[in-house]
Amino acid sequence: MVNYEGLNTIDLPCESIDAFNMLVYEPEAGYTGSDHFEYYYCIQPSNLCYLVKVDMNVIEAPEAETCACIRDCVWPGDADLDGQVDMSDLLTIGYRLGETGPVRSYNNPETWFGQHADNWNFSGNNLGTQYLDANGDGAITANDVDLIDEHYYRAHDVVVKDVQQKLPYQFSLIPVQFSLDSGDVVILDVAFGNANVPVLDMKGAKFSVNIPPAMMDSASVTVTFHQNSWLAEGSPSISLGKVPWTGRIDAGYAKAGGNGASGFGVIGTITFIITDDFEGFKEDDGIIQIPISFMLELLWDLMERFTMLKVMKSSSHMIVVIHQRINTT
């Protein structure tokens, strides 16, 4: 790791990079495998410093190139080019479904590495639409969602934390049943808005739900978006549900082509199986309070550009009553 203070120029085989205060990582010749380094990012003149930890995998070049891509590369699945593949990329792809452009000239453009790509038209976030073409086939389709699924939570850059604000609409997780036992399926309906404050012109949403890992069988999680809901009405859509780590559920839904919907009520359902370990959460009266926290991001259109509203983390409790077992012997 080399730190170049001030303005410097690095000459590479096919281009030069001019930048301030560059950190340059170069693995030992012939090395492949995992690596780690740390550095402090300091904000002047406040002298506030933050420790940044970087874990990476050093791999052989997936395809032989005369000039490897260094800047403005397409990373399959990172449609908004924020450095990480997540549900925000699903919202970005949904907004531009159906657009076409040049294919990427690689043998396996779905492989996770930075790739050259010809410029397409600009998308709603002022990025070239080529970044949305995850599989490199020259079209923005539901097939590109498969690459978000495959590369989910992979990162190729330092990822900045979201700037969050208050949600203008109600977001609810509604338990369908209140009497449960270990091994039972928990059913949670997902709802937006209410009769007094309905949602207006929403084009998509992503949300994350955190449940104590000891209480949830992560392999049993399903996320289903209802095709007859007020949000689904009027246009095709893409959606995805993921469990990036134990106890965390991520989900996203986007309407095609920037079409919006207004209304309120249930749009989808989350299910998972309660594990045997949830007994530790039981109170003396047999009632269990399951702590649930969630984060949300909505998609609107503002002057022909899509706008992401990132919402503050909230928490609540789902209260359930344990089945009374009857001894029949």
pLDDT tens digits, residue range 286-327?
A: 555 666 777 766 665 433 444 444 444 455 555 444 444 434
User: How many residues would you count in the chain?
Assistant: 329
**Cα–Cα distance measured from residue 143 to residue 304, given in angstroms and rounded to the nearest whole number:** 25
- Phi and psi of 148, rounded to 5°? -65, -45
In three-state secondary structure terms, 278 is helix
Q: Residue ranges of the domains in the chain?
A: 1-60, 64-160, 171-322
pLDDT tens digits, residue range 223-262?
A: 999 999 999 988 899 999 999 999 999 999 999 877 889 9
pTM: 0.84
Q: Could you identify the residue written with the tokens 């920037």?
A: 258
**Cα–Cα distance measured from residue 310 to residue 80, given in angstroms and rounded to the nearest whole number:** 15
CATH architecture type of domain 171-322 = Sandwich (2.60)
